[in-house]
């Protein structure tokens, strides 16, 4: 027969154990985050050494480093990651390298070749201003916003992503949602209200035209500029026109979360929650939560996309700030699984390898055999961002 004291002890143990498990989980995440950020600081010294002073890193494949000029859409991610790593480490050498890279990137503040000036400038100069408070960095972001809206097309109520080509008349891509952050931020920081108005208008058009009933998104919506109507909806980088390209779903999730952060408009929060549900409950999402390059790829298993996971993890951590505790737990638990998986040997490089990049196994453009199963700067950027967000908000 169990004594009264024994019953109370058993009950107390039952109550204490979940708290102990939660504390251990937090300790495990603290170690994982510190280990990976410390590793990233060291690894990016390798990346710095392998990247010419007038170029930006792009990837590492076939045993050699591949770099880009500053007009490449990814040019802001390397300096942006450096600023994140400086924020963590306070390492003066990391800051000096970030400043050197901004010096060659600044000329792109007037870039009008496509919509990606947000990726190029806000991820780099935006982080520099946030961390240092130096107004010269804000001035660059303010200028970039002026040139970004030159691509706004009133007839379609959207920012045109790419220029007209042989296949597309006026393409708008889901990725464009990411670059609205720059416009919203500049308006919020004392800039022209028109920037935010354009961002909201673009988001509303995307909400209307890009999404299917299951809350997956097309990659591209092509418009008739004269009529202001949709010509076609296609998946430029997806497996086929009815598939769910994994990085596109992650761009959308992150973009709707941004829109809610700045506007507090409930329809954007609801859309972010819908997209999160689509991603996290998709039957083809692997157990480690690192998606295949397309959720409907014709042959599964196939290449994983670490970049899609990194973007989604970072977005889920922010989305968790805006929902109730139960839903927050789902998002944070999923993001933690993604971060742990990315930090594992399956996806993270060893020190000195991988050309100095942190993560392996991302996919740029699978159908074109472009950058498949290789490191990519934006995968590293959102992985580091996700680690820092987890550390700031959930530990």
Is residue 78 one of the residues assigned to a domain?
yes
Q: Look at residue 24 in the predicted model and tell me its pLDDT.
A: 80
Give pTM, 2 decimals: 0.95
Is residue 3 one of the residues assigned to a domain?
no
Q: Look at residue 22 in the predicted model and tell me its pLDDT.
A: 74
> 8 pLDDT exceeds 50?
no
Look up residue 212 and give its two tokens.
Answer: 């299917």
Look up residue 289 and give its two tokens.
Answer: 């939560």
pLDDT digits (tens, 9 = 90+) for 329-339: 999 999 999 99
Helix (H, G, I), strand (E, B) or coil at 151: helix
| % of the chain beyond a pLDDT of 70 | 95
pLDDT digits (tens, 9 = 90+) for 270-318: 999 999 999 999 999 999 999 999 999 999 999 999 999 999 999 999 9
Is there a catalytic annotation at residue 380? Answer: no
Is there a catalytic annotation at residue 49? Answer: no
Q: Which residues pair with 61 in a beta bridge?
A: 64
Helix (H, G, I), strand (E, B) or coil at 362: strand
Instruction: Please list, in sequence order, all residues whose beta carbon lies within 8 angstroms of the beta carbon of residue 19, skipping any fewer than 6 positions away.
Output: none
Rg value, the chain, Cα: 22
What helix, strand, coil percent values describe the chain, rounded to 5? 60, 10, 30
Q: Phi/psi class of residue 264: alpha, beta or left (left: φ > 0; alpha: ψ in -120 to 50)?
A: left
Number of domains forming the structure of the chain: 1
The domain that holds 151 is classified in CATH as 1.50.10.10
**Given the residues 175, 222, 294, 305, the one annotated as active site:** 175
How far is 236 from 245, CA to CA, in rounded Å?
9
Is residue 6 one of the residues assigned to a domain?
no
Q: Look at residue 135 in the predicted model and tell me its pLDDT.
A: 98
C-alpha 328: how far from its chain's center? Answer: 19
**Given the residues 35, 54, 116, 373, the one annotated as active site:** 116
Is residue 264 one of the residues assigned to a domain?
yes
Q: Which domain holds residue 236?
A: 20-394
Is residue 119 one of the residues assigned to a domain?
yes
> 4 pLDDT exceeds 90?
no
Is residue 8 one of the residues assigned to a domain?
no
Q: Which residues pair with 374 in a beta bridge?
A: 362
Instruction: For tokens 């967000």, name the residue.
Output: 389
How far is 232 from 318, CA to CA, in rounded Å?
33
> 140 pLDDT exceeds 80?
yes
Cis bond leading into 74, ω under 30°?
Answer: no
| % of the chain beyond a pLDDT of 90 | 94
Q: Look at residue 18 in the predicted model and tell me its pLDDT.
A: 65
Is residue 187 one of the residues assigned to a domain?
yes
Q: CB neighbours (10 Å) of residue 193?
A: 9
Please, what is the average pLDDT of the chain? 95
Is residue 13 one of the residues assigned to a domain?
no
């Amino acid at each position: 027969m169990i004594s009264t004291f024994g019953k109370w002890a058993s009950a107390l143990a039952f109550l204490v154990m979940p708290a102990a498990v939660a504390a251990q989980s937090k300790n495990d995440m603290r170690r994982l985050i510190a280990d990976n950020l410390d590793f990233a600081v060291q690894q990016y010294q390798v990346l710095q050494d392998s990247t010419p002073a007038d170029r930006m890193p792009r990837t590492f494949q076939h045993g050699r480093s591949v770099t880009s000029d500053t007009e490449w859409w990814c040019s802001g991610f390397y300096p942006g990651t450096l600023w994140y790593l400086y924020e963590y480490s306070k390492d003066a050498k990391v800051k000096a390298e970030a400043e050197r890279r901004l010096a060659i990137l600044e000329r792109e503040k007037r870039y009008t070749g496509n919509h990606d000036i947000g990726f190029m400038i806000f991820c780099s100069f935006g982080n520099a201003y946030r961390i240092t408070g130096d107004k010269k960095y804000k001035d660059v972001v303010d200028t970039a916003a002026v040139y970004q809206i030159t691509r706004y097309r009133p007839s379609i109520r959207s920012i045109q992503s790419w220029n007209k080509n042989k296949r597309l008349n006026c393409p708008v891509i889901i990725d464009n949602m990411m670059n609205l952050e720059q416009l919203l931020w500049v308006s919020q920081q004392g800039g022209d209200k028109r920037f935010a108005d354009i961002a909201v208008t673009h988001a509303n058009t995307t909400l209307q035209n890009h999404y299917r009933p299951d809350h997956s998104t097309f990659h591209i919506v092509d418009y008739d500029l004269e009529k202001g109507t949709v010509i076609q909806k296609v998946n430029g980088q997806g497996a086929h026109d009815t598939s769910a390209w994994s990085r596109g779903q992650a761009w959308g999730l992150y973009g709707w979360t941004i829109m809610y952060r700045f506007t507090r408009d409930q329809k954007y929060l609801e859309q972010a929650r819908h997209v999160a549900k689509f991603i996290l409950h998709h039957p083809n999402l692997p157990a480690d939560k690192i998606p295949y390059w397309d959720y409907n790829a014709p042959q599964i298993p196939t290449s994983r996309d670490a970049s899609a996971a990194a973007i989604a993890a970072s977005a889920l951590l922010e989305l968790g700030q805006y929902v109730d505790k139960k839903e927050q737990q789902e998002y944070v638990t999923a993001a933690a699984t993604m971060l742990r998986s990315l930090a594992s040997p399956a996806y993270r490089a060893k020190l000195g390898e991988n050309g100095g990049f942190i993560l392996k196994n991302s996919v740029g453009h699978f159908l074109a055999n472009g950058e498949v199963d290789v490191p990519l700067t934006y995968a590293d950027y959102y992985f580091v961002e996700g680690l820092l967000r987890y550390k700031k908000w959930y530990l």
